Amino acid sequence: MKEIFNRRSIRSYENRPVEKEKIEKLLRAAMQAPSAANQQPWEFIVVENKDTLKKLSTMSPYSKAAEGSAVTFVLLANTENFIVETAWQQDMAAAAENLLLEATYLGLGAVWFGVATADTCVTYVKETFKLPENIKPFALISVGYPENQENQFVDRYSESKVHYEGFK
């Protein structure tokens, strides 16, 4: 699957929208992810509004690229759907990676901005969207047509990280 190898974090986008059909395909890919006990804890806010994109871009010093994106997905987990509570971040990460790979497949560029990685970002997203207590922010994924950057292969295979039959 070439998308796994070619996917890169793309932080610069053309000034044009992503088609509704593609947005739906990205969401479908995310929701197709595996999850513990099939709990599917995810919820998604789809943001195309320029003011809201700008607001998200100031979530952290590392989320600036959200401002120029055509669409940013806010990945959230709903605690009411938890069956295996300890697995929610793993479920969400699987959904996030699916979305990134589908974006690559569709000729789009995307980047993952960590939210659950920092309490300040969690609070920022909660306040921005006035989220109820049961909704936990996980990540932002900004998407658009790539500009000045492309999805291209970088070889990260490292034989030294592979251990056969035991750790040595």
Ligand X SMILES: Cc1cc2nc3c(=O)[nH]c(=O)nc-3n(C[C@H](O)[C@H](O)[C@H](O)COP(=O)(O)O)c2cc1C
Dist CA 24 CA 19 (whole Å): 9
Dist CA 32 CA 75 (whole Å): 14
Dist CA 37 CA 83 (whole Å): 7
* Shortest Cβ 63–ligand X spacing (Å): 6
* Shortest Cβ 164–ligand X spacing (Å): 26
**Of residues 63 and 98, the one with the C-beta less far from ligand X:** 63
* Shortest Cβ 137–ligand X spacing (Å): 13
Question: Rounded to the nearest 5 degrees, what angle is found at the Cα of 22, between the Cα atoms of 126 and 13?
Answer: 70
**Of residues 2 and 80, the one with the C-beta less far from ligand X:** 2
Would you tell me which residues interact with ligand X (CB under 6 A)? 8-9, 11, 62-63, 111-114, 117
**Of residues 157 and 164, the one with the C-beta less far from ligand X:** 157
* Shortest Cβ 101–ligand X spacing (Å): 11
Closest-CA residue to 99 (of 21, 29, 15):
29
**Of residues 20 and 153, the one with the C-beta less far from ligand X:** 153
| CA 16 and chain centroid, separation | 20
* Shortest Cβ 112–ligand X spacing (Å): 4
Dist CA 19 CA 90 (whole Å): 29
Q: Are 141 and 104 in contact (CB under 8 A)?
A: no
Residue 153 half-sphere exposure, CB side, CA atoms within 13 Å?
6
**Of residues 62 and 85, the one with the C-beta less far from ligand X:** 62
